[in-house]
Amino acid sequence: MRLLVVEDDPDLARQIATALRGAGYVVDVAHDGEEGHYLGDSEPYDAVVLDLGLPGLDGMTVLARWRKAGRTMPVLVLTARDQWSEKVAGFDAGADDYVAKPFYMEEVLARVRALLRRAAGHASSDLECGPLRVDTKAARVTVRDNPVKLTAQEYRLLAYLMHHQGRVVSRTELVEHLYDQDFDRDSNTIEVFVGRLRKKLGAALIHTVRGLGYRLAAPGDET
């Protein structure tokens, strides 16, 4: 999953980005409203952590412009403001959730996980596909209750497919949502990691749809 953090405080931005990367996400960071708006308007993020008190364009304006342009990614708003009227204004502008500063980083991580689950239509942090289970809170993967050890990149790819199971996901979509802007999009990295996952999880779970991409489906549910 690829996230955008828009926060003008460099120390706080670094702390948030570090925590999110430690949880297995790919993270881009913008330090002002103009850059944040541009990235959110041009890149396919799975969710955004957005501060309201930004230089240049303020966060409320950034959010409103995204929504007006049809950008639907979940947005978690961060702000030092605690007045209920400003919270209401944030939700009306298109925010999906709200955290007031100061906050515990664990709360931000939990709210991001919840936003990603809801956006993909999942109610629980435990995602299942046949014998495969992914605990997104603990980043733990099991097959028939047996733990499976994955690298960070393997886990990111699997987690994205699990959030979108049953749907064909193109290679381009995987690259856009799993890697930052500097990634070589002509490389065969996706194919390599799909091959590794099949060896570790069982070949029957990840199906290749020729010319279109990959689909995660339980055995017996290939059609």
The 10s digit of each residue's pLDDT in 213-222 is 999 986 666 5
- Look up the pTM and report it: 0.78
Q: How confident is the model at residue 148 (pLDDT cuts 50, 70, 90)?
A: very high
> CATH says 2-119 is which class?
alpha beta
126-216 has CATH 1.10.10.10 classification: yes
Q: Where are the domains of the chain?
A: 2-119, 126-216
End-to-end Cα separation, the chain, in angstroms: 26
Higher pLDDT, 88 or 95: 95
> What pLDDT is attached to residue 219?
61
Percent of the chain with pLDDT over 90: 57
